[in-house]
Amino acid sequence: KQEVTQIPAALSVPEGENLVLNCSFTDSAIYNLQWFRQDPGKGLTSLLLIQSSQREQTSGRLNASLDKSSGRSTLYIAASQPGDSATYLCAVLTGTASKLTFGTGTRLQVTL
């Protein structure tokens, strides 16, 4: 059974700092890994998707890497802003039925 863990569970940083969120998964037989953002009481917004054959994806200030063999992914946020404050979830797609397994999330707060 696939299990996804995210570290740290919570993080508070001052504005402007670069930061790294970590995601690990137990079964390396994944199709892809997706990073989401969730604002309080809201749904999920897809940030980046990395296919199993890729090593990284970039979108603006966000960069996600994938090391499938070691079961790890990182989300790098450059020059953090207060608007980045949210919960960040990683999810891996495994099996043939498009099943996403979600991590426990990292709650990020960027302070002024």
Binding region for another protein (CB under 8 A): 31-32, 34, 36, 41-46, 49, 51, 89, 91, 93, 97-105
Question: 48 vs 112, which CB is nearer to another protein?
Answer: 48
We find the least distance from the C-beta atom of residue 49 to another protein, in angstroms, to be: 5
- Say if residues 73 and 55 touch (Cβ distance below 8 Å): no
Question: 18 vs 45, which CB is nearer to another protein?
Answer: 45
Tallying the residues shown for the chain, one arrives at 112
Q: Tell me the CA distances in angstroms from 65 to 2, 39, 46, 49, one per residue in order.
A: 19, 23, 15, 10
We find the least distance from the C-beta atom of residue 82 to another protein, in angstroms, to be: 22
